[in-house]
């Protein structure tokens, strides 16, 4: 018997993306990430499993969702609905029953064929602008078979249009290398150089990330370093200088993207029933990001702020 279609789980597809590589692109967001960054603006991307989002202001208080949830994952406490994701099996019956559309499910299974049909809708824009397909997350390399097949098929069937991979780098080299064969550009996250602070901020050590970055650059693969500017964690002079020193060691790396902290993802934590770790942090000041950008330009890098 032959193998069935390769299936993966994604949580969004963004058309007409302008900051995930050159030109006009379609970005596919994979569900599941090995990191737990305190500042993550897409917490719905972290778990590989489907999750429920609850929009309190849309809730009509009809309790129909409670009636259809066989596992008791939805409960009323102190007058408010609470979702216990440990009990939820992702059946979606509560979403279908929700009259006010207060409940939605994040994460869907899809095949490469289904996803390609979505991606190629904008091929004419890709061709004219030099754009293409970007895989983001979560972490695409956490689903290596699906991500590799998607890249391979896109490159072969769309006449070699441009592909980009956004990755945190915290994956086995063998899994990452399989994707690089069909990747034209790697957007590589380097958050913190100090290993202890990296563990405190993301939940994991950074040795694998730094090693994989060196191996990617050693292949001659176009590589852009991305540094989130998070107050108290990544934006200090010592860390920025350390990231610059690391990037200088990588052959061919000439560009760094700065991603200033914002609070746009904060409401998602409430909708997922999770606490937000950076309650005291404020949106990053434009002038402060400009100072960091100027420091990196003086260090010899092209710098892009935002995106």
Q: Point out which residues pair with 13 in neighbouring strands.
A: 28
> Residues 88, 222: one domain?
no
* 253 falls within a domain: yes
Q: Which two tokens stand for residue 97?
A: 């029953």
Confidence of residue 3 (pLDDT cuts 50, 70, 90): low
- Residue 61's pLDDT band (cuts 50, 70, 90): confident
Q: What is the mean pLDDT of residues 152-168?
A: 89
Q: What is the pTM of this model?
A: 0.91
Work out how many domains the chain is built from and give that number. 2
Tell me how crowded residue 214 is: count the other CB atoms within 10 A of its CB.
12
The domain boundary residue, chosen from 106, 129, 152: 106
Task: Let me know the angle formed at the C-alpha of 279 by 278 and 282, rounded to the nearest 5 degrees.
Answer: 80
Give dist(CA 63, CA 75) in Å, integer: 9
The pLDDT score that the predictor gives to residue 1 is 44
**Strand-strand pairing, 74-77 and 80-83:** antiparallel
Give the Cα separation of 292 and 304 in Å (integer).
11
Which residues form the domain of 100? 51-106
Q: Is residue 1 part of a domain?
A: no
Does residue 232 lie in a domain region? yes
One domain for residues 190 and 233? yes
- One domain, residues 170 and 221: yes
Residue 2 lies in a domain: no
């Amino acid at each position: 018997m032959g193998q069935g279609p390769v299936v993966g789980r994604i949580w969004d597809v963004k058309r007409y993306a302008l900051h995930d590589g050159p030109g006009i692109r379609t970005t596919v967001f994979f569900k599941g990430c090995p990191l737990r960054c305190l500042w993550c603006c897409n917490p719905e991307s972290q778990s590989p499993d489907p999750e429920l989002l609850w929009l309190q202001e849309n809730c009509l208080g009809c309790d129909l969702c409670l009636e259809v949830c066989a596992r008791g994952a939805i409960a009323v406490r102190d007058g408010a609905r609470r979702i216990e994701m440990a009990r939820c099996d992702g059946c979606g019956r509560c979403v279908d029953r929700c009259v006010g559309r207060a409940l939605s499910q994040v994460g869907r299974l899809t095949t490469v064929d289904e996803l390609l049909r979505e991606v190629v809708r904008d091929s004419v824009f890709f061709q004219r602008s030099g754009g293409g397909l970007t895989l983001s997350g979560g972490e695409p390399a956490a689903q290596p078979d699906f991500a590799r097949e998607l890249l391979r098929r896109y490159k072969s069937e769309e006449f070699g249009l441009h592909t980009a991979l956004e990755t945190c780098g915290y994956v086995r080299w063998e899994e990452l290398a399989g994707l690089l064969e069909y990747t034209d550009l790697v957007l590589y996250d380097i958050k913190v150089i100090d290993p202890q602070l990296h563990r405190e901020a993301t939940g994991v050590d950074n040795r694998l990330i730094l090693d994989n970055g060196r191996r990617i650059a050693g292949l001659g693969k176009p590589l852009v370093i991305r540094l989130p500017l998070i107050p108290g964690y990544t934006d200090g002079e010592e860390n920025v200088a350390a990231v610059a020193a690391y990037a200088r060691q990588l052959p061919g790396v000439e560009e760094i993207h700065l991603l200033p902290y914002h609070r746009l993802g904060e409401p998602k934590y409430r909708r997922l029933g999770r606490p937000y770790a950076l309650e005291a942090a404020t949106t990053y000041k434009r002038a402060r990001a400009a100072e960091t950008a100027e420091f990196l330009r003086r260090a010899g890098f092209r710098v892009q702020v935002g995106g």
